Amino acid sequence: MMEAGISRHVDRMLAWAGILGPIVFVTIFTVAGWLRPGYSAMEEAVSDLGVGPQAGTQNANFFLFGALLLVFAIGFARIMRNLIGSRPAVVGAVLIAATGAGIVAAGIFPAEPPTEWLHFLLGFFFASGSAIATSFYVGRKLRKVPGWESLARYSFWTGIGAVGLVVLSFVALNPASPLAEAGIGGLIERALVIEIFAWHTVTGWKLAKSSTTTQISHPQALPLKETR
C-alpha cells in the first residue's frame, strides 16, 4: 500500500509538469514582451524575443518549457498505460517528448542567422506538428475509455484548430504574404501557442486527478492469467 501511495504521488508530480509548463511558458513570454521596448505582441513572433536585448530570458523559457514537457511525457506513460495499454501510452509519451525536444531546440537555435532555419524547422514545425499528432492520437485512443470521452473530443478539436492556426501563422508571419500587412502575425501565433499547449495543461490536470484514485486497467495492461 505504501509503495502504491508513493507511486501515485510521483505520478501526480509528473502530471503537474504538464499542467504548469504551458502556463509558465505563456506567462514568461508575455512579461518579456511587455518589458522589451518597441516590441509588438500583435505583430511579432514569440521567437523574436529570443533575439536581441534580453534574449536569454526567452531562450531559457524555451529550455524550461521543453524540459517540463519531457518530464510530463514520463508521467503520461506511467498513468495512461492503465487506461489505453502500455504500447499506446508509450507512443503518446514519445510524441509529447518530441514536442518538448523541439521546444528545447528552439532555445538552442535562436531565430537569427545562421540558425534561423533550424529554429523554425525544429521549434515551430516539428514541435507544433508533434503536438498536433499527439492530440489526434490520444483523442483516438481515449474515445472508448469510460470517463475520458470528453478529453477525447477535446483532443480531436484541438488538433483540428491547431492545423488551421499553423497555416495562418505561417502565412501571417511571412513578409511576402499579403496577410502580413495586416500586422496580426504575432496575435495568430499566440492563439496557436495557447490553443495547442493548453491541451497539455488540460490533460495533465485530468491525469493528476485520475492518479488519486484506483484506475481500472485496460485489458492490454493486464497480465495474462495462467490457464490450465
Helix, coil or strand: residue 133: helix
Domain annotation covers residue 41: no
Domain annotation covers residue 206: yes
**Domain of 158?**
7-36+47-212
Amino acid code (one letter) for 162: A
Residue 3 has pLDDT above 90, yes or no: no
CATH number of 117's domain:
1.20.1070
Domain annotation covers residue 167: yes
Per-residue pLDDT reduced to its tens digit, 96-140:
999 999 999 999 999 999 999 999 999 999 999 999 999 999 999
Q: What is the C-alpha separation between 168 and 153, in angstroms, rounded?
A: 23
Which residues contact residue 228 at a Cβ distance below 8 angstroms, ignoring those fewer than 6 apart? none
Which residues contact residue 205 at a Cβ distance below 8 angstroms, ignoring those fewer than 6 apart? 15, 19
CB 119 within 8 A of CB 109: yes
Percent of the chain with pLDDT over 70: 91
Q: What is the C-alpha separation between 43 and 77, in angstroms, rounded?
A: 38
Domains held by the chain: number: 1
Q: What is the C-alpha separation between 102 and 106, in angstroms, rounded?
A: 6
Q: Report the 10 Å Cβ neighbour count for 97.
A: 21
pLDDT recorded at residue 227? 38
pLDDT recorded at residue 181? 84
Q: What is the C-alpha separation between 55 and 46, in angstroms, rounded?
A: 11
Q: What is the C-alpha separation between 222 and 225, in angstroms, rounded?
A: 9
Place 151 in a pLDDT band, splitting at 50, 70 and 90.
very high
Predicted model pTM: 0.90
Per-residue pLDDT reduced to its tens digit, 152-187:
999 999 999 999 999 999 888 888 887 788 999 999
Q: What is the C-alpha separation between 185 and 29, in angstroms, rounded?
A: 16
Q: Which of 166-170, 187-191, 224-228 has the lowest mean pLDDT?
A: 224-228
Per-residue pLDDT reduced to its tens digit, 18-37:
999 999 999 999 999 999 99
For cell 504521488, the residue is 9
Domain annotation covers residue 224: no
Domain annotation covers residue 223: no
Place 215 in a pLDDT band, splitting at 50, 70 and 90.
very low
Residue 95 has pLDDT above 70, yes or no: yes
